[in-house]
Amino acid sequence: MRILTYFVVMLLLTALFGIYSTETEKNVEVLAKQNSTLQTDNDNLLKKNSEYESHIIELSEQVYELQAQLERKEAEVQKVDRSGKTVRYKLTDAERDLVECVVTAEAGGESYEGQMLVAQCILNACEIGGIRPAEAIKRYVYAKGRPEPTDSVVSAVAAVFDKGETVTDEAIIYFYAPGKVKSKFHESQRFICEVGGHRFFAEQG
């Protein structure tokens, strides 16, 4: 009787194990299929992500190009005054008044050529530094006085900023009056010329 019971139990256990193994195998197959599906989905997502990144890069390049075109057009617009004539550096009315006053303060008693040189220093400071006249005048410590501009200075500023006329092709920025002050700093820069009471310099190196 005990032997029979033992065999019955073993048969039941074997049957149960078989059922469990079958279910396990089915579960494994289901999980394997799900994993394969997830892997495929992941690959598709990675592919789409790569396509999106390429598209974003392409769009970014297009945006940069459009910005560059806009900047070039703005630069061209700035070089044209109301009469349609091309100008070298477009000044606002306030900036023109400021530059004329500073040139008058610095070189009001100098020759027309000397006045042009001072105006050229301010223009070069603006163009080289990518700044506007007010900042250039402050950065390079040009005259703080604001006397009424003379007709000669008005013409000199217009010749330099509007027409692009120059006394020298060198990028002069600094100048000082040796008859009034001594300046080791200015003399450490690259000397270009001396006109009237001023010596003019470009940046060293």
Q: If you average pLDDT over residues 174-183, what whole number do you get?
A: 93
Note the pLDDT of residue 95: 94
**Global pTM?**
0.59
| Residue where the block lists tokens 């989905």 | 41
From 12-26, 158-172, 179-193, the region with the lowest mean pLDDT: 12-26
Q: How confident is the model at residue 16 (pLDDT cuts 50, 70, 90)?
A: low
Residue 165: per-residue pLDDT: 94
Q: Are 166 and 160 in contact (CB under 8 A)?
A: yes
**Helix 112-129, helix 93-107: angle, nearest 10:** 130
Instruction: Provide the pLDDT confidence category of residue 194 given band limits of 50, 70 and 90.
Output: very high
Structure confidence at residue 24 as a pLDDT band (50, 70, 90): low
Q: What's the alpha-carbon Rg for the chain, to the nearest Å?
A: 40
CB 168 within 8 A of CB 200: yes
- Rounded to whole angstroms, the Cα distance separating 127 from 79 reads 13
Secondary structure element (H or E) that encloses residue 136, with its range: helix 133-139
Give the pLDDT confidence of 64-101 residue by residue, as tens digits: 466 655 655 555 545 554 555 678 899 999 999 999 99
Mean pLDDT value across residues 3-28 = 60
Neighbouring CB atoms inside 10 A of 51's CB total 10
pLDDT in tens, 121-148: 999 999 999 999 999 999 988 888 888 9
Q: What is the pLDDT of residue 7?
A: 55
Q: Which two tokens stand for residue 173?
A: 């920025």
